[in-house]
Structure 1
Amino acid sequence: MPNKKSGEQNLGIMIKTLLKNRSLSMRKLSTITGIDTATISRIVNNKQQAKPSHLQLFADHLGVPVAILFQAAGYDLELNEKNTPSDILDSIDTIQEILVSSNFLDHQFNLEKIHQELAKYEQFALTKEGEQKILEEFETKVEQVRGAGPFINELNEMYKSFCEENNPIEKRAILGSVLLYFILSTDIIPDYVFPFGYLDDCLAVQIGLDRLSKINKMED
């Protein structure tokens, strides 16, 4: 069930922003989605709760990951197989567009900032201090976020891999940098920017997985 207090206002702002940036009216959105204009207006103005079917149609026609709309509407759920971190990575331009146009952030968000933060943590991850921080604080941080989020399963697997003694230094550095990013809360997108607060962690995970995948291909 959605959390109405935390959700509906955010969803309304998001849809208004997407419509404006795509030069669409509610009437035009009604035509392409088949949802009655009055229904769209009530959803946008926080007078009616959006159904999952509404959110899916909005996502399909406004070019935004459906999981983001579900979170904006206050639904407490993890991403399904169709909405993976990779999908969000591919939609970074849309996410940036919403953040900037809605004044959620006072600066432009881009992937380079996440790359820079991860690079800073790579060497630290290979030190005794960095390793100790990961081993002592990772599980606590997972508990703090209540094990929720589309990236938690990937982080748990990365943590298990980091703990393996036979990992090459390059892989260990990549794994450690992502885990430290998560633990130390170096949020490029602040957590209070609902529903985007988790996205930089999610993107950091995907960046790390992509790098590990390239290393594995080279080893094959």
Structure 2
Amino acid sequence: MAEQSNSNTLGLLLRQLLKERSLSMRKFSELTGIDTATISRIINDKRKATPQHLEKFADCLEVPLINLFEAAGYPIEQKQEDSDSDDIHTSVDAIQALLKSSNVYDNEFSVSNVEQKLESYGLYAQTEEGKNTILKDFDEKIKSVGSIGPFINQLKELYGKFTSGKGTLFELTLIGSTLLYFIIPVDVIPDYLFPIGYLDDAIAVQLTTKALLNRIT
């Protein structure tokens, strides 16, 4: 199975995904903001996709970024982890490869850095100032990102839960910390390093979603 997956080119994978989602190349271009000619060259293996291209493709098609990295031929070191943490660690692998290839961020990225930041924002989320920051700035930050997909949709769901006030103090604090992580631009990977600056925000959302699900189960 692994050999078959690795033999697939990015072009073949994109063709398959577009067909499954009934997306034309023109519509795909509109959703990703990448011109049709560039997408056509990538699909026809006449141009190598950049990490930035892959990040936009993954967000639009709602597929794991690491799958596109592998199909595009970027080296990814797979880690064997337990099933509960597979998604996060494969995402981290993809982020590490993306940061390395982008040459705009020199620090080592880790989940523990995101967790530490979330913990500090959790304390802030319990204050009136923190709550007001979320209520006042969330919609504006969503507009500035100008993106759709599971990452943004999950954030909107968390925002809805936070504003409703339904949940335990722990749950609302956890959700508030994630919303502040997204809103405040200075986090583990600064947001101004667009588009890679929001990759750690996606990890933060993933961590919080898993924590909330674990409490339910």
TM-score (norm 1): 0.61
Distance 1:81 1:170, change over 3 A: same
Unaligned runs of 5+ in 1: 1-30, 36-46, 59-65
Aligned equivalents of 2:101 and 2:56: distance in 1?
23
- Structure 1 residues 75 and 99 mapped into 2: Cα distance closer, same or farther (>3 Å)? closer
Counterparts of 1:165 and 1:116, CA distance in 2: 24
How many corresponding residue pairs? 165
Kept in 2, the 8 Å contact 1:114–1:200? The answer is yes
Classify 1:106/1:133 alpha carbon distance in 2 versus 1 (closer, same or farther; 3 Å).
same
Alignment of 1:116-135 (within 5 A): 116-135=116-135
Q: Secondary structure at the match of 1:186?
A: coil
Q: What RMSD over aligned residues (CA atoms) do the two structures have, in Å? A: 3.6
Instruction: Describe the shift of the 1:170–1:102 C-alpha distance in structure 2 as closer, same or farther (beyond 3 A).
Output: same
Higher Cα Rg: structure 1 or 2? 1
**Cα pair distance change 1:74/1:164, threshold 3 Å:** closer
Gaps of 5+ in 2: 1-5, 11-37, 67-85
Structure with the higher fraction of residues in helix conformation? 2
Q: Hey, what does 2:64 align to over in structure 1?
A: 83
Q: 1:51 aligns with which of 17, 36, 42?
A: 42
CA–CA distance in 1 between the matches of 2:140 and 2:195? Answer: 23
Aligned-pair distance for 1:142? 0.8
SS in 2 for 1:187: coil
Q: Which amino acid aligns with 1:183?
A: I
Say whether the 8 Å CA contact 1:50–1:73 is kept in structure 2.
no
Go from structure 1 to structure 2 and tell me whether the alpha carbon gap of 1:54 and 1:212 turns closer, same or farther (over 3 Å shift): farther
TM-score norm. by structure 2 comes to 0.62
Structure-to-structure mapping, 1:1-220, within 5 angstroms: 32-33=7-8, 50-52=41-43, 54=45, 69=51, 71-72=52-53, 78-83=59-64, 87=87, 89-100=89-100, 103-148=103-148, 150-193=150-193, 195-217=195-217
Identity of aligned residues (%): 35
